[in-house]
């Protein structure tokens, strides 16, 4: 039985990952900014083999990230992995996709980095001393296919740049922390339409997205969660510094 910290744990990808880990008997401290979604997660996890602790927390704030890491170590004794899922486009909607640069404010740009990059930086930094002391730790970050800037219809200049920063941070940390037994990887999903996100887009827009995917199938939250689970568990102990696309073949 291992112990994990999962951020944005009550969203589509986070819920899928938490339920996978609990089903295998692992312990998870799951944080999210929404008490309502955390309650729904707890209901879904009822009867699972593992142990779930839920916490409302905004880990893009240093005090909150430090407190969550400390609680996880104190409660579980040791933590083997961290899934940094917090991110996305704040207030996502069709009007934000491919928004012209001159319509993106500095505040929006900074908020995108706060949400997608600060959260990864702060949570990883908070748990690294514990991982280093044990000479073992797994960090699985969530980037995006948008980080590569190859397609329209996926993000905008603020979001794409923030997710590219997540990839840069992943690769840098895999080098600097590798000697301490800490593996750092990222998953780069294509468009993943949870119920909340799907409601913001037309059926025609989503159909266009699917048509350009070689497998003609849009990956769902569980597809991304399956890869995150692999990167957190010992089966991937020889993998570090990788960015794995979960995109149905879209490059």
| Residue 144: per-residue pLDDT | 95
Q: Provide the token pair at 107.
A: 């505040």
What share of the chain in percent tops pLDDT 90?
78
When pLDDT is averaged across residues 30-50 and rounded to a whole number, the result is 97
When pLDDT is averaged across residues 138-166 and rounded to a whole number, the result is 93
Q: Is pLDDT at 54 greater than 70 in this prediction?
A: yes
Check: CB of residue 190 under 8 Å from CB of residue 246.
yes
> Rounded CA gap, 119 and 59, in Å?
5
Of residues 44 and 156, the one with the higher pLDDT is 44
Top CATH class, 3-245: alpha beta
| Residue 175: per-residue pLDDT | 98
For 88-112, write each residue's pLDDT tens digit.
887 666 678 889 999 999 999 999 9
Could you tell me the pLDDT band of residue 78, with boundaries at 50, 70 and 90?
A: very high
> Rounded CA gap, 186 and 164, in Å?
11
Could you tell me the pLDDT band of residue 124, with boundaries at 50, 70 and 90?
A: very high
Mapping DSSP onto H, E and C, the string for 35-79 reads HHHHHHHHHHHCCCCCEEEEEECCCCCHHHHHHHHHHHHHHHCCC
DSSP letter string over 152-212? SSS--HHHHHHHHHHHHHHHHHHHHHGGGTEEEEEEEE-----HHHHTTS-HHHHHHHHHT
Q: Is pLDDT at 49 greater than 70 in this prediction?
A: yes
| Residue 112: per-residue pLDDT | 95
| Residue 249: per-residue pLDDT | 82
Q: What's phi and psi for 204, nearest 5 deg?
A: -65, -40
Q: Is pLDDT at 82 greater than 80 in this prediction?
A: yes
| Residue 190: per-residue pLDDT | 80
Residues of 224-241 as b/e, b for ≥16 C-beta within 10 angstroms? bbbbbbebbbeebeeebe
User: In whole angstroms, how far apart are CA 210 and each of 50, 153, 189, 217?
Assistant: 36, 11, 14, 6
| Residue 159: per-residue pLDDT | 94
When pLDDT is averaged across residues 169-177 and rounded to a whole number, the result is 98
| Residue 205: per-residue pLDDT | 78
pTM over 0.85: yes
> Rounded CA gap, 35 and 38, in Å?
5
Q: Provide the token pair at 19.
A: 């339920």
When pLDDT is averaged across residues 1-10 and rounded to a whole number, the result is 97
For 187-208, write each residue's pLDDT tens digit.
999 877 666 666 777 788 778 8
The mean pLDDT value of the chain amounts to 93
């Amino acid at each position: 039985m291992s112990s994990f910290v999962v951020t944005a744990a009550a969203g589509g990808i986070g819920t899928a990952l938490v339920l996978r880990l609990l089903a295998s008997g692992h312990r998870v401290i799951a944080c999210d900014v929404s008490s309502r979604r955390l309650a729904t997660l707890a209901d879904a996890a009822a009867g699972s083999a593992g142990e779930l602790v839920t916490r409302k927390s905004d880990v893009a704030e240093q005090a909150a990230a430090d407190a969550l890491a400390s609680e996880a170590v104190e409660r579980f004794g040791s933590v083997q992995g961290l899934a940094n899922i917090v991110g996305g486009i704040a207030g996502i909607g069709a009007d934000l996709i491919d928004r012209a640069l001159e319509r993106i404010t500095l505040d929006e740009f900074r908020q995108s980095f706060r949400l997608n990059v600060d959260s990864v930086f702060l949570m990883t930094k908070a748990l690294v001393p514990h991982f280093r002391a044990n000479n073992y730790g797994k960090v699985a970050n969530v980037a995006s296919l948008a980080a590569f800037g190859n397609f329209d219809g996926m993000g905008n200049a603020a979001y794409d740049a923030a997710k590219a920063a997540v990839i840069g941070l992943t690769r840098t940390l895999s080098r600097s922390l590798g000697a301490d037994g800490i593996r750092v990887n990222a998953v780069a999903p294509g468009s993943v339409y949870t119920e909340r996100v799907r409601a913001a887009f037309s059926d025609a827009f989503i159909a266009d997205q699917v048509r350009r995917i070689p497998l003609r199938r849009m990956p769902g939250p569980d597809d991304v969660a399956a890869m995150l689970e692999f990167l957190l568990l010992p089966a991937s102990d020889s993998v570090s510094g990788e960015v794995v696309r979960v995109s149905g073949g879209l490059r």
